[in-house]
Structure formats: structure tokens, C-alpha cells
Amino acid sequence: MSTAQKTLLLIGATSDIGHATAQAFAGAGWTILLAARNPEGAQRNRDDIAARSGAEVSTHRLDVLDTEGFEGFIDGLPALPDAVVCVVGEMGDQQQAQGDLAHAAKVIRTNFEGPALLLGALAERFLRRGHGTIVGVSSVAGDRGRGSNYVYGAAKAGFTAFLSGLRNRLAPTGVQVITVKPGFVRTRMTEGMKLPPLLTAEPGEVGAAILAAVSSQKGDVLYVRKLWRPVMMAIGAIPEPIFKKLRL
């Protein structure tokens, strides 16, 4: 795939994974559209990417909770991108989400409703054009609900299922859908947590893995650290009567 004129839309540009991913694509010669709720905050990342790569990088205002604004947002882009990567995610606070419905709703909307509807809307445009790549960054937390983060996990599970269905529907077309499950990543979100080294990726690894998957047009479900696949298979295989008694 020639990258001479390729454009990437990166949703969630102020996150560490978003920044690293945009960086990887810019380094490979892509033009970058950075979407963030706060374009001023994304400006610092924009400058960084442009300085390092010499690529064309612009910022665009987008609130993933403002679903009604999605069509207008897409119309307002300088061009329909060749690929979109959505890294939007917010873990929220599980304990708060148990009693505070507004907080729970926000976690679900931020991790599921917003990203799914936005990528869905872009998928229709890509389909009309005949090609495009959609990358949704979901989470291993969506593979099985756990007591410690099931509101977030359920939202990610919804997002994973949405991407899976979209991929299934669009398989015969020129539109590719990739689900990324990064596992643990050393970012602001996980700062201060004790993370197992073999299961923990750097943001740059996630960015490089996404670029490789998009460039090769191969891959459906991507675990950045390969060890996560057997780990999640094992967790998935635990019978529910046992699983429910584990503290996870």
C-alpha cells in the first residue's frame, strides 16, 4: 500500500497511546488528523509529531459524548481519511460507578456508545467510497466481566462485539475492521500501578503494532503482547461457579 497520500484520523489524540500511534503513522509518511475534545491540548502533540516527522498534522474538535455532532464532524474534515484509529477510553471508578448512575453512564458512553457510533458512521462513508481501515482500541477487560472493573469491562465488551459484527458484515467489501486489545500499557492511566513486565507494552509498541496491521491490511483481533491471547483464553475457560468466587 502506497502511503504517499494516505490520511489517518486519530480519535483521542491527547492520550499516550493516541500520541504514539499518530507518531508511528506520521513517521511512515501519513498525513494526520488529530481529533480531541480539547484541540488546544492536542496542539502540543501536534507540534511534536510535525517536528519529528515533517508530516502534515492538524487538530479537530470532537466530543465522543456528542453523538449528534458526529456527522457534522466527519463532514467538516478536510478529507475523508483512509484509516481511522479510535483510542478513546476512560476507566472511570468502579466503586463510584456502582452507586452513581451518572458516572456509570459516562463510562459506558465514553467507552462504548461514542466510539461505536462514530466508527459506525465512518464505516458507512468508507463503504460508500469502497475502501478504508477502521481500528478500534478495545480492551482485554471486555473479554470477561470482573468484579473490579465490570462497568468499564462491559462497555469494552460492547465495543468489541460492535467491531466484531462490523468486521463480519464488511468482510466481503474493501473496508477492513481491526480490534486492538493492548493489555497493560505504561501510560498516565496506569501510572503508579504495579504491572507484570511481560504483559505490559509501551505506548510506542502499540502504535507500531497498529501501523503494521493497517499497512499489511492483515489482522482482525490484535493483542499487542502475544502472551495476552493464551492468558485471556485461560481466564475465559474458568467455569463460572469457580470464576465467580475469585477475587479479580
Partner 1 sequence: MLLEGWGRYPQLNSEVLTPATPDQLNELVRGRAGLIARGNGRAYGDAAIGARSSLSAVKLDRMRGFDPQTHVLTAEAGVLLSDILDTFVPRGFFVPVVPGTKYVTLGGMIASDVHGKNHHRDGGFGAFLQSLKLVLPNGEVWNCSPHENPDVFYATIGGMGLTGVIAEASIKLKPIETAYIRQATTVAPDLASALKALDDADEATYSVAWIDCLAGGALLGRSLIYAGEHASRAEVEEARVNGELLAKAKASRLSVPLDLPSWTLNKASVKAFNEVYFRKGSRKGDAPAVVHYNPYFFPLDGVSQWNRIYGVRGFLQHQCVVPPNNAHAVLSEILERFARSGRASFLAVLKKLGKANGLMSFPMPGYTLALDVQVRDDIFALLDEIDELVTRAGGRLYLAKDARQSPATFQAGYPGLAEFQEIRRRLGVEGKIASKLSERLGI
Distance in angstroms (rounded) separating the CA atoms of residues 47 and 199 = 31
* Contacting range for partner 1; rule: CB under 8 A; set: 50-58, 143-151, 153-161, 206-214: 50-58
Does residue 48 interact with partner 1 by CB under 8 A?
yes
Residues 1, 51, 171, 227: which binds partner 1 (CB under 8 A)? 51
* Cβ neighbours around 180 below 10 Å, total: 25
* 214 bridge partner residues: none
Give the C-alpha separation, 50 to 218, whole Å.
28
- The answer to whether 52 contacts partner 1 (rule: CB under 8 A) is yes
Residue 38 in contact with partner 1, rule: CB under 8 A: no
Q: Between residue 140 and residue 169, which ones bind partner 1 under the rule CB under 8 A?
A: none
* β 184-185/200-201 pair status: parallel
Among 50, 117, 121, 248, binds partner 1 (CB under 8 A): 50
Among 45, 110, 179, 187, binds partner 1 (CB under 8 A): 45
Half-sphere exposure of 17 (CA within 13 A, CB side): 29
String marking each residue 165-194 x if it binds partner 1 according to CB under 8 A? -----------------------x------
Give how many residues touch partner 1 by CB under 8 A: 9
Terminal Cα distance for the chain, rounded: 43
Is 150 a known active-site residue?
no
Which one of 1-9, 44-52, 120-128, 148-156 is the stretch in contact with partner 1 (CB under 8 A)?
44-52
Residues 6+ apart with CB under 8 A from 196: 184
Q: Which of 152, 159, 184, 223 is catalytic?
A: 152
Closer to partner 1 by CB, 90 or 220: give it.
90
With beta carbons less than 8 A apart as the criterion, state whether 58 and 32 touch.
Answer: yes
SS3 32: strand
Q: Is 56 in the site for partner 1 (CB under 8 A)?
A: no
Instruction: Work out how close the CB of 188 gets to partner 1 at its nearest, in angstroms, rounded to a whole number.
Output: 7
Q: How far is the CB of 48 from partner 1 (least distance, A)?
A: 4
Question: How much helix, strand and coil, in percent to the nearest 5, is found in the chain?
Answer: 50, 15, 30
Contact 139, 96 (CB under 8 A): no
- CA 246/CA 248 separation, integer angstroms: 6
- Give 48 or 66: the residue with its C-beta nearer to partner 1: 48
Q: Site residues (CB under 8 A) for partner 1?
A: 44-45, 47-48, 50-52, 54, 188
As annotated, the active-site residues are 152
